[in-house]
Chains A and B, each alone.
Chain A
Amino acid sequence: MITSTSDEALDLLVVGGGVTGAGVARDAALRGLRVCLVEQRDFASGTTWGSSGMIHGGIRYLEHDWETTRISCLDSGYIKRIAPHLLFPVVFLVPVYADAKLGIEVMEVGLEAYDRFQPYKAGRPHVRLSADEALILEPGLNPRGLVGALTMDEWGVDAARLVVLNALDARANGAELRTWTEVAGLLRDGSGAVTGARVRSRLTGVEEEIRAAVVCNAAGPWAAEVCAMAGVELQLRPAKGIHLVYDRRITNVALSIEAIDGRGLLLVPHAGTTLLGTTDDDHYGDPERLDVTEDEIEYLLQATERVLPSIRQHRIAHATAAVRPTLHRWSRYEDDLSREYEVFDHAVDGAQGLVTVAGGKMSMFRKMAEDAVDAVVRRLGRGLPACTTHRRPLPGGGSPVDVEDVANSMAVPLHLAQRLAGRHGDGVWALLREAEAGDRGTVVCECEGVTRAELRHSIRHEHVERLEDLYRRVRCTGGACQGMRCCWAAAQLMGAERGWSPARVGDEVRAFLDARWRDRPVVLRGVSAAQEELTRGALTP
């Protein structure tokens, strides 16, 4: 591990700990570069946090460029290969109504074309259903005007965990990780070349300089801000998107929905939740200060109830909002902006040593990282090994896990073994062996089935700095109550592991609840409000 970044120049400083930045750090570390990654908050707390959690093959590109679909599917396949434990199938049901923009025949042509690419990512061919069959599969569908339906599949992923595993693998290969550390400015030499960054810890306020031959700007919607520190103008067209997160899977299949303005929305069963989204609106404000509005919620619910009339009866646990760092294009409707990405070497702008990777989508993160590191290597002018991130497993992805064997031999309930294996893959064995017997089955987060053993493991090994980080590591506090019930227990355990004072534990809980509260009032209704009141009553002395 690099202990003093300020003394000796690194090869690469990565700014941004989202999926792209973590992917860049991993790729570069695997190629033998000396790397440090800084992230102003926790991993995956920006754009990745608000994603739909999908590794998809890019069916929409079939109208524009089949090669993009092929590359996208191929990369989805690579991600499936390196992290099989993190991915789960998401099966889409596309109900087709009489008034749909495209008829069922045209839509099926698209899916027939997509079937040719599905083998790249271990996907399965589409199925066509009659209206009656669609209603048997999902009886909650609105039957009026239903012509038929089509099904197809993609992969769902725990996006935050995907980022964390990339970062941890980077660390295992020598990279240094610094979360809750913001870039206060870029260092430049007399010629204007970027030679590192001045960074400030958001936890301690300490500032220091990190010198690096190349700075890779993977800051997502903050990328323009980082470029401006080097006097470079980077134009993005940031787009805000929200998702409603339901407390459980409210359907077994994902639904494709058309909104009132013709935009496509998705209702996606995702792990133990359901995501409904997304909106897509230009956003020129601070990407860190995002509010979910009643209007946005109503837009999503109005569209969804045309297809699934019972949607308003289900319980929304919280909402997410994030900004996509879409590349700038003039005169295009937000939703038409492609999810293309680009790697910029700012030597042409007079800022040698600064490389920016912007745009793109989560499914393409590995390829984006590969291209960005290729640009870094070119800038370094050194002969380095080629990228291996498409074949080297992420932590836990090395070998398949027999969940029943885990449950039997480690004496944990099958349900917990299943959850653990889904998050930790073959690392589940080490996690449970390391744990004290009493911790293995002792649950802290009831909704997500997170045990003391898993929390201790995560706190010790997964670069956890704050209480809220635990959500992005192991989904602790991710259920219907959004941590109201378990945050104290988790904070106390973290405090015990870290030697925090009782006051620090209290501060962490307060900060956690305040942060969580920002996303919740707008969705609190019915039983959610009742539970909030009950739990707050119990928590208040």
Chain B
Amino acid sequence: MSTAARLRRVAALGRLAVGYSRHTMSRLVRRGGWGGLAAFDALYRRDRISRLTPEERAALAGHGRCIACGLCTFAATRSGYLTAERLPLQLTRSLPEVWATRDLALDSLDWAAAQAVCPTNVPLGQIRDLVITRLEADGVLPPAPQLAPAVLPVPPARRR
């Protein structure tokens, strides 16, 4: 390691040490609870990066069991772009993108019939419920903005 690199490392560790002291002091005087989850939700609601319920977590592994045999689509017919098979295979692969199913008539398929013929027991009804629940929670929230700042933000001023 060069001398310059060593000096940079010393400076970096020194800054972190100062940060640690400041952090420790602030933890000592901090009052109240953690309150972090509310902050998390506020930061990422627009991106639809949200908490999973225990039920969703338990069911999620089953979403990947679809082998694209197409039997459910025969059993439940289709409604426009929506087929039973597409729900696990395409439309719910990314939960933050589930909002984009809101133009589909999810109640128009016979999910029980679709579920009954599935050879790998994909929980189609449960997935449909998950989507409905998330759409209801989402309301009419518009898509997350693609905008990047036209001019990059100025970094915070150095502490004196």
Contacts and interface: CB of A to CB of B under 8 A. Distances in A.
A81 B152 contact: yes
A84 B148 CA distance: 6
A246 B97 CA distance: 17
A407 B103 contact: yes
Interface residues of A, number: 89
B94 A531 contact: no
Nearest to A137: B51
Interface residues of B, number: 70
Main secondary structure of the interface of A (DSSP, over half): mixed
A66 B11 CA distance: 9
Contacts of B85: 446
Given A116-B156, A403-B100, A481-B68, A247 B93 contact: yes
B43 A63 contact: no
Contact of B51 (A89, A127, A136, A447): A136
Nearest to A393: B148
Contact of B8 (A64, A113, A117, A527): A64
Given A415-B81, A415-B90, A404 B147 contact: no
B157 to A, nearest CB: 10
B54 interface: yes
A363 B11 CA distance: 24
Given A81-B149, A441-B81, A527-B65, A272 B13 contact: no
Contacts of B13: 63
B148 A80 contact: yes
A500 B27 CA distance: 68
B36 interface: yes
B155 A120 contact: yes
Interface in A395-454: 400-404, 407, 413-418, 421, 425, 441, 443, 446-449
Interface in B43-78: 43-44, 47, 49-54, 57, 60-61, 63-69
A78 B97 contact: no
B49 A414 contact: no
A4 interface: no
Contacts of B153: 119-120, 122
- Among B20, B50, B142, max chain A CB count under 10 A is at B20
A315 B64 contact: yes
Contact of A130 (B36, B52, B147): B36
B81 A401 contact: no
Contacts of A247: 64, 93
A286 interface: no
Contact of B36 (A70, A81, A127): A127
A116 B153 CA distance: 12
Contacts of B112: none
A80 B152 CA distance: 10
A77 B149 CA distance: 9
Nearest to A416: B81
Contacts of A401: 146
A252 interface: yes
Interface in A87-142: 88-89, 91, 105-106, 108-110, 112-113, 116-117, 119-120, 122, 124-125, 127-130, 133, 136-140
B12 A531 contact: no
A65 B23 contact: no
Contacts of B23: 105, 108-109, 112
A237 interface: no
A7 interface: no
B52 A413 contact: no
A310 B58 CA distance: 9
Contacts of B145: 400
Interface string B86-118: 100111111111001111100000000000000
Contacts of A480: 64, 66, 68, 89
A92 to B, nearest CB: 11
Contacts of B29: none
A128 B36 contact: yes
B68 A485 contact: yes
Contacts of A279: none
B51 to A, nearest CB: 5
Given A66-B11, A116-B155, A122 B148 contact: yes
Contacts of A315: 61, 64-65
A403 B143 contact: yes
Interface of B: 5, 8-9, 11-13, 15-16, 19-20, 23-24, 27, 33-34, 36-37, 39-40, 43-44, 47, 49-54, 57, 60-61, 63-69, 80-81, 85-86, 89-97, 100-104, 120, 142-143, 145-150, 152-156
